[in-house]
Amino acid sequence: MDQNGFSQDLQGTMSEPQSPTLPPSDPDTYNFTPHTSYDSQNDGVSTTSSGKIRQTGDNMPGSQRGNFWAHHFMSLPTVFSSSPTNYNRQPHSSSISRPTTPPHHRPKKSSVPAENADIIATPNVPSAPAPGMYWSRATTYGRGPSKCLRAHTATIIGELMYIFGGCDVRNCFSTLFILDLDTLSWSKPRTYGDCPPPCRAHSSTLVEREMDIPGKKSSWIYVFGGGDGPNYSNALYVLDAETLIWTKPPTHGTAPTPRRAHTTCYWQSKIYVFGGGDGARALHDVHVLDISDPKHLQWSEIQPTGALPGSRGYHTGNLVGDKYIIYGGSDGHECFSDVHILDLPSNHWYQVELDCSIPRLSHTSTQVGSYLFVVGGHDGSKYSSEVLLLNLVTMNWETRKIYGTIPLSRGYHTVVLYDSRLILFGGYDGKNAFDDVYMLELSACAYLPQITNFIIDV
């Protein structure tokens, strides 16, 4: 694989930082300028109207947890905080009013013989933990990846998680694995057609179309870009998730330049591509692939107005309604903490004011209702295992109590949301790649995925 890592993906050769936590052997982070992780001085900054979100819906109750998962959370030996710093500017408080029974309705106390007092005494049971979220390492079955993976993609279709591509510490792959999230069983299906070459730091975009049969949808995974070693790609491949047949369809118009470490989203029959790096520099251009006619795919570059984000790769991009939210990333020199929103109907960029600065690259960002759950990544000086919540209503950072077995710090992993759980797979900590699967049970926050009716005011 490319021994120069992600900085070569973005900006070419850089100098090494003077950080004892990042050995020069780390191919993906050694040449980052150290960056302060958190800016506590901004704790009192108020959010401007440019970043406000208006909540218009009501919270709905969360789904019931199945017995299949109960064994993961029967014992909670240690309480972890997802961060040593509390980013909540308004700590949660509660006032519980307990109904009382009028004195004349209270049951009379019965006298208990002294010899039986030890039988009915209240046992010395510790208090139940406060509502929080729970990490556990999942035991999986079947034929999973034989190599540890990083910089792969994960696409969820129903109860199935499709893992494609990625690399270990030496080689890139073009293998497809599927994990059934109900049974935690891996499979390595045979694929057909024009399969993509080995690649990492590519993008996989899910496209679903209505079929002639009522209630049925066809699912397609569009894989764009990526690369292996010094090679960068702008090729497009499409996987039919039902037949597992790969195709390399012809496209029209001017395609984006070869790149990796970009992000994509799908909105109104179009795939949007933002940023990445081509090995010489980081990018901040926006390209659109019109797939409304599957037989005539049309590329075009758009020129949004407004406050353009800086060039970057290894950021995250989330489509929330008709807003494309970009967070973090790097240009090969600096690790970013900013949030930008591309309003797709107006083709206009907005920068959001946040309550504090939290730089991240090679992290994941998963929408859970009116929050973005940011897991892991690199802060410019070290890898992290933190779980941070960006409240899309207030545009403030929040944390929650995390219980259970916390994953090792990492970046270049994937996270998907399924049945009120976040499923984490793979990643890299600067020395080793991983092949483990962790589940974050949302528990008291299980209702969050039901919050869908809110508006981002920019």
Is the pLDDT score of 44 beyond 70? no
Alpha-carbon torsion angle 129, 132, 134, 135, nearest 10: -120
Which alpha helices (H) appear in 4-59, and where do they start and end? 5-10
- On whether residue 19 sits in a domain, the answer given is no
Is the pLDDT score of 8 beyond 80? no
Question: What are the pLDDT digits (tens) for 352-370?
Answer: 999 999 999 999 999 999 9
- On whether residue 9 sits in a domain, the answer given is no
If one counts the domains in the chain, the total is 1
CATH number for the domain that contains residue 345? 2.120.10.80
Question: What are the pLDDT digits (tens) for 202-226?
Answer: 999 999 998 878 878 999 999 999 9
Going by pLDDT thresholds of 50, 70 and 90, the confidence category of residue 7 is low
Domain span holding position 259:
45-61+131-456
Phi-psi region of 275 (alpha: psi -120 to 50; beta: other; left: phi over 0): left
Give me the percent of the chain exceeding a pLDDT of 90: 65
- On whether residue 248 sits in a domain, the answer given is yes
Residue-level pLDDT at 241: 98
- On whether residue 85 sits in a domain, the answer given is no
List CB contacts of 156: < 8 A, sequence separation 6 or more.
162, 181, 206, 416, 417, 418
- On whether residue 195 sits in a domain, the answer given is yes
- On whether residue 105 sits in a domain, the answer given is no
Higher pLDDT, 361 or 449: 361
- On whether residue 126 sits in a domain, the answer given is no
- Mean pLDDT check: name the lowest of 52-56, 178-182, 410-414: 52-56
Is the pLDDT score of 77 beyond 60? no
Cβ neighbours around 48 below 10 Å, total: 10
- On whether residue 233 sits in a domain, the answer given is yes
Strand order in the sheet with 364-368: 364-368, 371-378, 383-391, 396-398
- Mean pLDDT check: name the lowest of 45-59, 139-153, 377-391: 45-59
E strands, 59-210, in order: 79-81, 133-137, 141-142, 153-157, 160-164, 176-180, 185-187, 192-193, 203-210
